[in-house]
């Protein structure tokens, strides 16, 4: 049984979320389908292009992403304050980049409406402003667009996605780090790539690409922490993150479980993350958290805030993020 979105998304609790969408068909819809004898690899670029478009419209930023053969992952940051500062004209411009402008709103912008029509138009614009900070709206714009393109190419109709996208609240810095790394390491876990710099269609590949002075290969990504700018960025540095992803990628590909070398990334120490539990969490199906991810006390607070008596992942949180 699925949970309603209001039981999963609470922007008052956290602006960070991990989302996953999976195709309903069992074929390799973004790669080579051995049964149909067709190569669908070009569809991965559809997702990258759509992400780029939507990031330019919504007040939502991408922290990490990975496009796989039959599903994709996103780690998102919702910037409610930024959307609140937009003018009505900017909200209209953004929303109508995706949808047709109603005649009432056009006349409102040209100040050709009565007081009653002005109130009605303002209500529409206020609704659009909320939608531009809605993860559900963002994912709907992603998935409906991709489903239409894929069905048109296949010459068929019907569902393309297996159901609602999965959504997981990221409650603290440790959870953000875990989700981002879990997303970026997808190709390595699937043995589609050996190193982060080989992991195409991921955010870590894009970031490495950009640091080498190469042209942009994906959507605009949320910045990592810079000195004096922690509030407006991912709360750790890219150099720390890259070291961690590289170290983890080598560890999870090892045939010897628990064979950790001595070069433990300092970010694990700073955030008090258990190294063995971390590597287990990064392995296939290692993310055993449910609707939320974070330290034990944060999971309990999150459950109480949403009126829930139970939340999945308490044992994993206790092991992965031991209390000091």
Same domain, 216 and 101: no
Residues 168 and 197 grouped into a single domain:
yes
Give tens-digit pLDDT for 149-188: 988 888 888 888 888 899 999 999 999 999 999 999 999 9
The structure tokens listed for 154 are 């296949």
**Same domain, yes or no: 108 and 222:** no
Residue from 34, 76, 64 nearest 201 by CA: 64
Segment 42-59 shows an average pLDDT of 94
Range 97-110 average pLDDT = 95
Tell me what the mean pLDDT of segment 27-44 comes to. 70
Confidence grade of residue 217 (pLDDT, cut at 50, 70, 90): confident
Is 216 a residue whose pLDDT tops 80? Answer: no
Residue 67, C-beta contacts closer than 8 angstroms, at least 6 positions apart: 30, 44, 47, 48, 201, 202
Q: Per mean pLDDT, which range of 36-45, 95-104, 115-124 is the poorest?
A: 36-45
Q: Does one domain contain both 176 and 67?
A: yes
Evaluate whether residue 2 is within a structural domain: no
CATH number of residue 48's parent domain = 3.30.70.1290
Distance (Å, rounded) from C-alpha 108 to C-alpha 121?
7
Domain boundary among 96, 114, 131: 131
Q: Which residue has the higher pLDDT, 163 or 124?
A: 124
**Residue 257 pLDDT:** 42
Tell me the mean pLDDT in the region 241-260.
Answer: 73
Mean pLDDT of 294-318: 85
| Residue 324 located in a structural domain | no
Residue 16 banded pLDDT, cuts 50, 70, 90: very high
d(CA 75, CA 267): 19
**In a domain? residue 153:** yes
Q: What is the pLDDT of residue 226?
A: 72
Mean pLDDT, residues 87-102 taken together: 97
Cα angle value 79/82/84 (rounded, 5°): 110
d(CA 2, CA 9) in angstroms, rounded, equals 13
| pLDDT value at residue 259 | 40
Report how many domains make up the chain. Answer: 2
Closest residue by Cα to residue 189 from 234, 245, 267:
245
228 band by pLDDT with thresholds 50, 70 and 90: low
| Domain boundaries, position 248 | 10-79+133-319
Can you tell me the distance from the alpha carbon of 167 to that of 21, in angstroms, rounded to the nearest whole number?
Answer: 9
253 in the Ramachandran plot: left (φ > 0), alpha (ψ -120 to 50) or beta?
alpha
Q: What is the mean pLDDT of residues 227-255?
A: 82
Mean per-residue pLDDT of the chain: 87
Long-range contacts, 207-214 (Cβ 8 Å, 24+):
207/238, 207/242, 208/242, 211/238
pTM of the model as a whole = 0.90
| Residue 186 and residue 297 in one domain | yes
Locate 265 and state its tokens.
Answer: 């990334």
């Amino acid at each position: 049984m699925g949970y309603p979105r209001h039981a999963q998304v609470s922007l008052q609790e956290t602006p960070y979320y991990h989302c996953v969408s999976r195709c309903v068909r069992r074929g390799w819809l973004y790669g080579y389908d051995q049964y149909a004898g067709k190569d669908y690899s070009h569809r991965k670029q559809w997702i990258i292009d759509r992400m780029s478009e939507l990031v330019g419209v919504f007040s939502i930023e991408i922290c990490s992403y990975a496009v796989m053969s039959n599903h994709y992952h996103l780690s998102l940051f919702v910037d409610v304050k930024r959307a609140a500062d937009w003018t009505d004209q900017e909200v209209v411009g953004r929303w109508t980049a995706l949808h047709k402008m109603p005649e009432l709103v056009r006349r409102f912008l040209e100040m050709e409406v009565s007081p009653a029509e002005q109130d009605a138009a303002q209500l529409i614009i206020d609704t659009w402003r909320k939608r531009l900070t809605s993860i559900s709206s963002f994912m709907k714009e992603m998935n409906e667009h991709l489903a239409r393109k894929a069905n048109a190419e296949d010459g068929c109709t019907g569902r393309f996605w297996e159901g609602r996208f999965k959504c997981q609240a990221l409650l603290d810095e440790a959870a953000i780090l875990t989700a981002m790394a879990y997303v970026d390491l997808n190709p390595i876990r699937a043995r589609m790539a050996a190193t982060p710099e080989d992991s195409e269609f991921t955010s870590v590949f894009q970031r490495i690409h950009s640091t080498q002075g190469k042209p942009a290969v994906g959507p605009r990504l949320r910045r990592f922490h810079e000195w004096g700018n922690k509030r407006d960025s991912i709360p750790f540095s890219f150099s720390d993150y890259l070291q961690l992803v590289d170290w983890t990628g080598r560890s999870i590909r090892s045939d010897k479980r628990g064979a950790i070398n001595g070069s433990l990334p300092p970010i694990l120490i700073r955030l008090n993350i258990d190294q063995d539990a971390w590597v287990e969490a990064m392995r296939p199906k290692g993310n055993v958290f449910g609707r939320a991810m974070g330290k034990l006390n944060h999971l309990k607070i999150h459950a109480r805030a949403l009126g829930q008596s139970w939340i999945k992942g308490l044992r994993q949180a206790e092991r992965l993020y031991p209390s000091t």
